[in-house]
């Protein structure tokens, strides 16, 4: 049975394992930024299933025990692991569309909801209470197919953005050479660059050069 976005409202940050990334980020946007467009010239960070698993582990989407179990299963079922990687890239492409165009285009939002519900609806599992570093958190524990629940944290994070009406604060970097997307958590909502230390500084330097040329 498909899970509505109202059900996804319950999937707050407390429902997921602690992340190893700053709280100001959004997991689904971090996931979008693994694609080849965002990582030029380095290329797709999810180059194979092992890279996907490592990324999920580093970002707190799966814990040590589950990562080890899925890695063992991938050795026994390489075709299933390859299919899981293809599916992850499919979800990522849908979420990029949501990040870049979802605020302005209802069709893009609707397509993303279909994709989110596809993942949520096929993943059987249970919720449980876990303890991490002295803190209690809710966790989704998939049953059956070891690979089916992998994308749950990603689509729940995207569902949170829709439920909490955050898309107006989600945008792509203003540098035309950069394809990274980000959440603007500033008070005035006017952040333009994914990172001031890179894209922001390049833009500042370009403006400075333009003024110098004009002055001469």
| Prediction pTM value | 0.78
Task: Look at residues 213, 72, 49, 66 and name the one whose alpha carbon lies nearest to residue 153.
Answer: 66
Domain boundaries, the chain: 5-215
pLDDT at 10: 36
Cβ contact 170:103 at 8 Å: yes
* Dihedral, CA of residue 72, residue 75, residue 79 and residue 82, to nearest 10: 70
Instruction: Find tokens 């797709």 and name the residue.
Output: 44
Q: What are phi and psi of 75, to 5 degrees?
A: -65, -40
DSSP state of 40: T
Residue 4, pLDDT score: 41
* Whether 32 contacts 172, CB under 8 Å: no
Residue 205: predicted pLDDT: 57
pLDDT of res. 78: 96
User: What's the rounded Cα separation, in Å, for the pair 202 and 62?
Assistant: 36
CATH of the domain spanning 5-215, picked from 1.20.58.1180, 3.90.220.20, 3.40.50.1980, 1.10.3300.10: 1.10.3300.10
**Gyration radius (Cα) of the chain, Å:** 19
Q: How far apart are CA 89 and CA 182, in angstroms?
A: 19
Q: What is the dihedral of CA 45, 51, 52, 56, to 10 degrees?
A: -100
Element (H, E) at 5: helix 5-8
- Blockwise average pLDDT, block size 10, the chain, 216 residues: 38 36 69 94 94 94 90 95 97 97 96 95 78 74 78 93 95 91 91 80 56 54
Cis peptide before 199 (omega within 30 of 0): no
Q: Please, what's the b/e burial string for 129-166 (b: 16 or more CB within 10 A of its CB; e: otherwise)?
A: eeeeeeeebebbebeebbbbbbbbbbbbbbbbbbbeeb
């Amino acid at each position: 049975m498909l899970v509505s976005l109202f059900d996804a409202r319950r999937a707050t940050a407390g429902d997921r394992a602690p992340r190893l990334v700053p709280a100001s980020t959004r997991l689904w946007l971090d996931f979008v930024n693994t694609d080849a467009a965002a990582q030029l010239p380095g290329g797709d960070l999810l180059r194979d299933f092992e890279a996907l698993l490592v990324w999920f582990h580093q970002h707190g989407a799966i814990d040590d025990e589950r990562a080890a179990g899925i890695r063992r299963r991938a050795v026994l079922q390489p075709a299933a692991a390859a299919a899981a990687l293809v599916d992850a890239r499919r979800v990522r492409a849908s979420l990029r569309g949501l990040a870049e165009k979802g605020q302005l285009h209802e069709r893009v939002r609707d397509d993303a909801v279909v994709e989110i519900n596809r993942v949520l609806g096929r993943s059987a599992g249970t919720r449980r209470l876990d303890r991490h570093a002295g803190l209690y958190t809710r966790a989704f524990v998939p049953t059956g197919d070891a690979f089916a629940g992998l994308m749950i944290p990603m689509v729940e994070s995207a569902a949170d953005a829709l439920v909490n009406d955050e898309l107006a604060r989600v945008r792509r970097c203003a540098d035309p050479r950069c394809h990274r997307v980000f959440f603007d958590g500033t008070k005035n909502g006017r952040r333009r660059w994914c990172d001031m230390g890179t894209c922001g500084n390049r833009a500042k330097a370009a403006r400075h050069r333009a003024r110098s040329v004009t002055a001469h």
